[in-house]
A and B are shown apart, each in its own frame.
Chain A
Amino acid sequence: MKLRYQVSGDDLSLAGKASSEVKRALGRLGVDPGAIKRTAVSMYEAEMNMVIHGGGGVAVAEFSPERIVITMEDSGPGIADLDLAMQEGYSTAPEWIREMGFGAGMGLPNMKRNSDELRIESEVGKGTTVTIVIIFSVPGGGQA
């Protein structure tokens, strides 16, 4: 199953809608709550990044019974120093974003902490593609 969302870079009040919808879809499918929460947090942080830094973009969530793969692609300014960006507390977000409750440099670390796989491909001046993989646990123990 595949869901595709156009994420607006202009309207911050809509930011997070795609993540909410993916969360509900996983709930309807009966995915374990822990994996749903990890998916929700990772995708929401990526969606906020996309709105704040990337000027919006396209989010695709592709899921099977075993896992969800989320791809977030924007055509924003790109990330100049990825190692720095991964550090907790480092942020290039403007002050008004901080007033919205984000932009404190927790986004990428939160994504890393909650995902089973996080890939970031970024080119300065071209854009950023973030891929998040969450593996669902199967009833009866272990992971699929």
Chain B
Amino acid sequence: MKVRDIVATLDGILMTGEELLDVDIQAACGADLMSDVMAFVKENVVLLTGLVNPQSIRTADLMDIRVVVYVRGKVPPKDMVAEATRNGMAVISTKYSMFLACGRLYEAGIRGGGTREIR
């Protein structure tokens, strides 16, 4: 699924990263706990989170996650968006809750698989 389709599916607002609109994303990870993102994410995914602080952008950058979606209508402040722009990332804000945002992406064809096996 392309980043532009993620924006459309989530009725989202793209805050930065227009050049990534045609990038293909296969999997997603929804988490507010950044250590879990670091523990479980393996492949390139879209990160959905309600955690609006610089650590969410930094964690995504360190994990090579290029697309971050802020759920529950959260809008990251300008300095965070600027950091994402510098890192070459796309940032999307959606009014949907974490549950609904994940549900809509799943329904649209995004699956798991970007994380290591959880036993």
Contacts and interface: CB of A to CB of B under 8 A. Distances in A.
A12 B32 CA distance: 17
Contact of B38 (A20, A41, A100): A41
Contact of A106 (B36, B51, B63): B36
Contact of A37 (B51, B53, B58, B64): B64
Given A15-B55, A100-B55, A20 B35 contact: no
A16 B33 contact: no
Interface in B49-100: 49, 51, 53-56, 58-59, 61-64
B34 interface: yes
A101 B51 contact: yes
A110 B55 contact: no
Interface residues of B, number: 19
Contacts of A16: 54-55, 58-59, 62
Interface of A: 12-13, 15-17, 19-20, 23, 33, 37, 40-41, 44-45, 48, 100-102, 104, 106-107, 109-110, 113
Given A44-B58, A104-B35, A110-B38, 13 more contacts: A12-B55, A15-B58, A16-B59, A17-B58, A19-B62, A20-B58, A45-B35, A100-B55, A101-B33, A106-B33, A106-B38, A109-B39, A110-B35
28 contacts: A12-B55, A16-B59, A17-B58, A19-B58, A19-B62, A20-B61, A33-B64, A40-B63, A41-B38, A44-B38, A44-B62, A45-B35, A45-B38, A100-B51, A100-B55, A101-B49, A101-B51, A101-B53, A101-B55, A101-B56, A102-B35, A102-B55, A104-B33, A106-B33, A106-B35, A107-B35, A109-B39, A110-B35
